[in-house]
């Protein structure tokens, strides 16, 4: 399953929606400290914004920044009409409580979908901003399978940012959902019953080929850097891709599967937020 190609389609749609809104759309990115990986993520999100006509507002703060200073910046961005969406890159330095920061973001501008109000709306069926990675996984599944109603789905992992919202999205599509985690028993047997397997555990190639029911659709969220020999490293997912490929009806690769969809869904969420803030009907 080609995440890059679907992400490209989503980005094109977003670019069209931004143009048709006729008013600027802006995403504020907040990076605290100098973690190299976080810097790469933020820059790639800013580049993706520019490509679809969303203006990125870049806020780089020192690793010494205190919680009150970061809260003050979030408050300022909440009140800034040019800022449609706010993204605070995690992880934050240890002197800052990430939950306090996420709670301070205006839910209407919470394009990461991490605010408790958006999580609550997702669970109770209201209009929410949905975390980008599970939203991307859902779009990949619907693109391949169409209607998901009645399918047996298993989500491996129960984090607040991937596993739980993924399970809720699948439940909202009327799947029969199992959520598995580190205390679950017989993961292989649970997976073998599933039409849809979403793996989000952060364990390199944990899901083996013979865990996959013939024809099942497999979404691999994991991004794990492992030794590739000769002093090199490579990225692998949570699924043993080569083993699972002959069993699966469809499977996302790592890289090139869920990753590109995560960024595309951040752009889509920013446009969704813009439309709601302006009382404009969302494009279908």
Give the nearest distance from C-beta 168 to ligand NAP in angstroms.
14
The total of other beta-carbon atoms located within 10 Å of residue 165's CB is: 27
Residue nearest to ligand NAP (CB): 159
Tell me whether residue 73 or residue 113 sits nearer to ligand NAP (CB atom): 113
Give the nearest distance from C-beta 222 to ligand NAP in angstroms.
4
The DSSP 8-state label assigned to residue 45 in this structure reads H
Tell me whether residue 94 or residue 149 sits nearer to ligand NAP (CB atom): 94
Give the nearest distance from C-beta 57 to ligand NAP in angstroms.
22
The structure tokens listed for 181 are 């985690």
Query: What one-character-per-residue DSSP string does 163-218 give?
Result: HHHHHHHHHHTT-EEEEE-TT-S-HHHHHHT-SEEEE-S--TT-B-GGGSPTT-EE
| Long-range interactions of 122-129: CB distance < 8 A, separation 24+ | 122/165, 122/168, 122/169, 122/172, 123/168, 125/172, 127/276, 129/269, 129/272, 129/273
Which of 45, 109, 151, 164 does the annotation list as catalytic? 45
Give the nearest distance from C-beta 158 to ligand NAP in angstroms.
4
Is position 45 annotated as part of the catalytic site? yes
The DSSP 8-state label assigned to residue 86 in this structure reads E
The residues near 251 (Cβ < 8 Å, ≥ 6 apart) are 1, 217, 218, 219, 220, 239, 241, 244, 245
CB-CB contact of 11 with 266 (8 Å): no
Tell me whether residue 71 or residue 223 sits nearer to ligand NAP (CB atom): 223
Tell me whether residue 104 or residue 258 sits nearer to ligand NAP (CB atom): 258
Is position 89 annotated as part of the catalytic site? yes
Which of 46, 106, 109, 112 does the annotation list as catalytic? 112
Tell me whether residue 48 or residue 73 sits nearer to ligand NAP (CB atom): 48
Phi then psi dihedrals of residue 60, to 5 deg = -105, 120
**Residues at the interface with ligand NAP (CB under 6 A):** 133, 156-159, 161-163, 180-184, 187, 200-203, 206, 221-224, 258-259, 262
Which of 46, 89, 168, 213 does the annotation list as catalytic? 89
Give the nearest distance from C-beta 19 to ligand NAP in angstroms.
27
Q: Which residues are catalytic?
A: 45, 89, 112
């Amino acid at each position: 399953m080609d995440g890059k190609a679907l992400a490209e389609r989503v980005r094109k749609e977003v670019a069209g929606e931004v143009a048709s809104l006729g008013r600027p759309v802006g995403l504020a990115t907040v990076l605290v400290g100098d973690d190299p990986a976080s810097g790469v993520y933020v820059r790639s999100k800013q580049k993706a914004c520019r490509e679809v006509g969303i203006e990125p507002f870049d806020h780089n703060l020192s690793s010494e920044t205190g919680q009150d200073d970061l809260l003050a910046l979030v408050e300022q961005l909440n009140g800034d009409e040019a800022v449609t969406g706010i993204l605070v890159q995690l992880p934050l330095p240890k002197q800052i409580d990430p939950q306090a920061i996420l709670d301070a973001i205006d839910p209407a501008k919470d394009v990461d979908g991490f605010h408790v109000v958006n999580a609550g709306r997702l669970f109770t069926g209201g209009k929410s901003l949905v975390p980008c990675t599970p939203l991307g996984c859902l779009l990949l599944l619907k693109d391949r399978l169409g209607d998901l109603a009645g399918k047996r789905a298993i989500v491996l992992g129960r984090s607040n940012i991937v596993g739980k919202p993924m399970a809720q999205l699948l439940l909202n599509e009327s799947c029969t959902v199992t959520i598995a985690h580190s205390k679950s028993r017989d993961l292989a047997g649970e997976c073998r019953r599933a039409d849809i397997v979403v793996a989000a555990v952060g364990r390199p190639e944990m899901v083996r080929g013979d865990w996959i029911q013939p024809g099942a659709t497999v979404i691999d969220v994991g991004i794990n850097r492992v030794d590739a020999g000769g002093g090199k490293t490579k990225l692998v997912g949570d699924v043993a891709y080569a083993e699972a490929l002959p069993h699966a009806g469809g499977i996302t690769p790592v890289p090139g599967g869920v990753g590109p969809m995560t960024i595309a869904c951040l752009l889509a969420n920013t446009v969704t937020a813009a439309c709601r803030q302006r009382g404009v009907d969302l494009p279908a």
